[in-house]
Each structure stands twice: as structure tokens, then as C-alpha cells.
Amino acid sequence: MTRLHKDLISSLREPENGNPLYIAEDKFQTSRGLPLGKVVEGIPRFVNDEHLKSFGLQWNKYEVAHDDEDRATFQAKTGFSLKEMKGKRVLDAGCGGGRYSKICGEAGAIVIGADHSSAVEKAEKLCGHLDRVHFLQADLKHLPLQHQSFDYVFSIGVMHHDKKTKAVFDAVAKMVKPGGKYAVWLYRKNQWWQEAINNRLRDKTTSWSTEKLEQWSKRGAKLGGMPILNKTLNKVVNFSAHPNEENRICDTFDWYAPEYQHHHTVEELSSWFLDAGFVDLKALPPEKKGFLYRCAYEWNLLIGSGVNVMGKKK
């Protein structure tokens, strides 16, 4: 039988009523004795990832973690200071390969990372040296975790891949304790003609085989490494311009593979925070600087850029 850390065991709850879960022979049961999940390869699993295999593939295959960059990105996209993390309970909602869970864990936080895909296997390996960082495979809309039990909750680039973004947002918001902070980053709605081109392309790419989509992503990664083109053409057809080629392949694959990809506005996201009982909202600026970049951002011309809001729970 697998031994799970007490931090994780004490956090697990029935999603519907908040009752503690029971574990016997690596299988989870509700208070009524109904099966709910099981431990596989040391990770509690409450879902399978049949319809999200592309996420598991990309995060398990590609090496995209870069510590200095990830620290800067985490702080820019959450508004949280890593200096505040020590001893705090943190939820990484949609952890993927675990790079931001790792950053928080190394800052001294007690972290639970949750993802619907098998990417949690990569996350577990990446954070194997951190005793207080734990992962589970679960639906973010039905997390088997205690409500109002986390000091910091964040979700970076995940919720917009569900059929209903707001349903995910609302479910994860319940995990924030009073006085805790919640940060969410979602894809930004672009100009109408960019949206039309993207929708037309994704109508095709979402039906492609993994092999065909990987070849497409590798071509996009080559374009992303070409000066001028990587700052102009990708305003029409999206491909990553990350300095690292492996990141460019992964990012481009991530754009064209998912079944769902919704784009939102700052006003829309802010209204969700207010409806969920959050105050002191802050619309976080993009990480990149520069006059031309900021102009393109404000005019909604940057495909793949985000809307980013942080708030405090009343």
C-alpha cells in the first residue's frame, strides 16, 4: 500500500459534501463506502484523461521548466511574492508539469497541484525533492479538497480549456480561505479577424493525429525562431516565439491541440471575482515591457496573450 503524506491525506474530501475520504489498499471511498478514486504510481487519481491526452503528452514529453524564468513568470502572472510563501498552503489549479508548484515549494510553501491529465506524473518527478509538494489527478470542477483551506490559489493558462471557463473558476474559487488570495490567467480576446483565422485553423488542427500536430508545431517553432517573422506573422497565425525551441514546440502544440479554447476580457474575468466574493481586485500587467508591445497588448493584437486578475477573499 502506498503511503501518502499527511498534508495530502488531511486535505482530501468528498467533492459533494466535504466529508473526509477513506483509503484502503490504495483505493478511496466516501463515508458511505462508495468508490471515488485510487492511488496509481503514488498519485491519487480521481479521473482519467481520455479526452485530455494531448495535455499529458505535451507536458510529459517536453522539458519546459526554467527556474529563473518560471519564478519571474509566476510572480508576474499571480501578483504573489515568493517571499510570502513560506509555511503557506498553496493550490496550483491545473499544474501541468509542475513548474510553478516547484517554484512555490522551493519557497517553503505547502503545495497541492491538481491537473485533469497525466501531466501530474511529470510534476511528481520534477518536485520529487520537495517533501511538502503533492499532486493529484482530478477535475478542477470537482476537486476532492477541503473548501476554504488555501492561503494562495492560482491557475495559469488552464481554465479556458474547459467547456465552461466560469464553472471552473467558480469551483476553484471555493478553495480560497477568507483573507486568502486568488489569481487567474486566461487567454485574451483578440481582434475579430484574428479570432476568425484562429477558429478556422483550430477547426482543422483539433481533429489531427498527434503525429501530424507535432509536425505542425515543429514548423511553427522554426518560424518562432526567425527574427521579424516571430514578431509579425504570429499576429496573424499563432506560433510561439519563446527563445527555447522545445518550449516553442510545446507552446504551439498547446495552442492547436485542445478541444476547447475560450478567450476572455479583463472586464469579464473581474466580474467573476466580484460575484465570487473577492475584493481588492488587481488587473495584472503583462510580463513583457516596451512601448510597442504594450500598445499591441492594449489593442488586443497579441495572440496568446492573457487577461490576468488577482483578488482577495472577503
Give the domain extent around 307: 50-189+259-287+303-313
- 103 and 63 belong to one structural domain: yes
Q: Mean pLDDT of all residues in the chain?
A: 94
- 236 and 212 belong to one structural domain: yes
- Is residue 150 a part of any domain in this protein? yes
Going 211 to 53 to 62 to 77, the CA torsion angle's sign is positive
| Domains of the chain: total | 3
- 277 and 251 belong to one structural domain: no
Going 252 to 254 to 260 to 263, the CA torsion angle's sign is negative
- 281 and 247 belong to one structural domain: no
- 237 and 111 belong to one structural domain: no
- 122 and 179 belong to one structural domain: yes
- 283 and 227 belong to one structural domain: no
Please indicate, yes or no, whether the overall pTM of this predicted structure exceeds 0.85: yes
- What is the rounded distance in angstroms from the CA atom of residue 30 to the CA atom of residue 15? 10
pLDDT in tens, 189-247: 999 999 999 999 999 999 999 999 999 999 999 999 999 999 899 999 999 999 999 99
- 242 and 109 belong to one structural domain: no
Provide DSSP, 174-220. TTEEEEEEEEEEEEBP--HHHHHHHHHHHHHHTTS-HHHHHHHHHHH
- Is residue 195 a part of any domain in this protein? no
- Is residue 296 a part of any domain in this protein? no
Instruction: Return the pLDDT at 48.
Output: 81
Confidence of residue 54 (pLDDT cuts 50, 70, 90): low
- 32 and 68 belong to one structural domain: no
- Is residue 127 a part of any domain in this protein? yes
Q: Are 195 and 189 in contact (CB under 8 A)?
A: yes
- 166 and 58 belong to one structural domain: yes
